[in-house]
Amino acid sequence: MAESLIKLENIWKIYQLGEMELPVLKGVNLEIFSGSFIAIMGPSGSGKSTLMHIIGCLDVPTKGKILLGGQEVLESSEDNLAKIRGQRIGFVFQQFNLLHNLNALENVMLPMVFQGVSETKRIERAKELLDSLSLKDRIYHKPGELSGGERQRVAIARALSNDPEIIVADEPTGNLDSVTGEMIMEVLLNLHKKEGKTIIVVTHDSNIAHYTNEIINIKDGQIISAI
């Protein structure tokens, strides 16, 4: 039986707007098992991006518990949270979030710098990842010289640089045409099937759902169904 990798217990996220409180997540309970491929779906303003940030330890809830591999994450210091993110979770964003003054190779190498990987190993790993994503001829190109699909593949290579067990992707096809979007989803599916990565995709695109093996529907800050 697959082990529980991420467990959220009674997660609330409340923003303070002056004297008014705005609850974005309301008592969310969610368990994600190792090796899952999950889509978190919901309309704009449903709380899905906030949920993604909390799953990825990019944000902390107002109250509730987060367990990662059975360990309570919120008891960690900010430094330790950053270490957890760096080692165990890779991020892919709709806007790619690549540094425009760095080429593809340098962008992929960057997360490894923060983990103390030697330069020789950083170069070797980054070249290997870019080659595996059919970007061997584009490694010295800067983001402005790449197509949207190429930029997203560089972003996926960067997410994989420290070999995380979890990939969190926020609308990874949102800025791409449908054909390129399908190609990116095939890349993620391949990582799930061949490398056993746990992949969590946040999307409003129902076409993406058929790539995944579980769909979490969220509305008004609450999970309304899990299929």
Show me where the domains of the chain are located: 36-59+77-226
Hey, how many other C-beta atoms are within 10 angstroms of the C-beta on 99? 12
pLDDT at 5: 94
pLDDT at 209: 79
Per-residue pLDDT reduced to its tens digit, 59-108: 999 999 999 988 898 887 888 888 888 889 999 998 899 999 999 999 99
The CATH code belonging to domain 36-59+77-226 is 3.40.50.300
What distances in angstroms separate CA 164 from CA 38, 56, 89, 210, one per listed residue? Answer: 16, 12, 5, 24
pLDDT at 79: 82
The string of DSSP letters for 63-103 reads EEEEEETTEESTTS-HHHHHHHHHHHEEEEETT----TTS-
Confidence band, pLDDT 50/70/90 cuts, at residue 208: confident
pLDDT at 130: 97
pLDDT at 148: 94
Angle CA(2)–CA(194)–CA(71) in degrees, nearest 5? 35
Q: Residue 1: pLDDT above 60?
A: no
Confidence band, pLDDT 50/70/90 cuts, at residue 20: very high
What's the rounded mean pLDDT across residues 16-42? 94
pLDDT at 2: 62
DSSP 8-state symbol, 197 = -
Identify the three-state secondary structure at position 116: coil
- Say which residue, 206 or 157, is predicted with more confidence: 157
